Structures are given as C-alpha cells and as structure tokens.
C-alpha cells in the first residue's frame, strides 16, 4: 500500500469517527489532532486499534503520543515505517 493510500485511509477513519460531517479534504497535515483536542484519550486508543487492525502493525504504548499522532503525516509515516 502506498503512503497516499495509507494517508487517505487514516484521514477517512478520523473524519468518520471523530469529525462526523466534516469534509475529509479539510483535514490536512496542518490540523493538530492531539494539540487541538480532536484525539481525546479514548479517541487515540480507538485510532491505534484501527491502525493495528487495518494495517497489521503493532504500536507500543509509549509510541502513542503527540510526537507520533499529532497530524496525518506523522501517523502515515509511523504506519509506513512499521509496515515495512
């Protein structure tokens, strides 16, 4: 799966689950998911569970932080790196 496909899949999940009604195209890399409060504690767990299930990766608890999850590009890079 290409990085663009990963990014699209992640974007669609976040919009569908945490920003219902929003246009997925509005969720670009400038939106800070953690810092802006889109990813709450439960939302971040749900996102990680989705990533693990959908992409077959495993994330450690210490990787669930703002450095890895704060925007779409960072999440995509984490999944792509872990999928290799």
Pick one of 3, 5, 36, 40: the residue that binds other proteins (CB under 8 A). 40
Nearest to 29 by CA among 77, 64, 63: 77
- The residue from 66, 77, 80, 82 that contacts other proteins (CB under 8 A) is 66
Check binding of 14 to other proteins (CB under 8 A).
no
Measured between alpha carbons, how far is residue 25 from residues 21, 48, 59 in Å?
12, 22, 26
Nearer CB in complex with other proteins: 6/34? 34
Does position 32 bind other proteins by CB under 8 A? Answer: no
Closer to other proteins at the Cβ: 3 or 40?
40
Asked if 51 and 45 count as a contact pair (C-beta separation under 8 A), the reply is no
């Amino acid at each position: 799966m290409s990085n663009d496909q990963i990014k699209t899949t992640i974007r669609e999940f976040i919009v569908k689950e945490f920003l219902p009604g929003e246009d997925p195209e509005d969720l670009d890399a400038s939106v800070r998911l953690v810092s802006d409060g889109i990813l709450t504690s439960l939302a971040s767990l749900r996102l990680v569970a989705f990533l693990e299930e959908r992409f077959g990766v495993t994330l450690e608890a210490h990787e669930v932080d703002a450095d890895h999850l704060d925007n779409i590009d960072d999440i995509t890079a984490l999944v792509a790196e872990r999928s290799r």
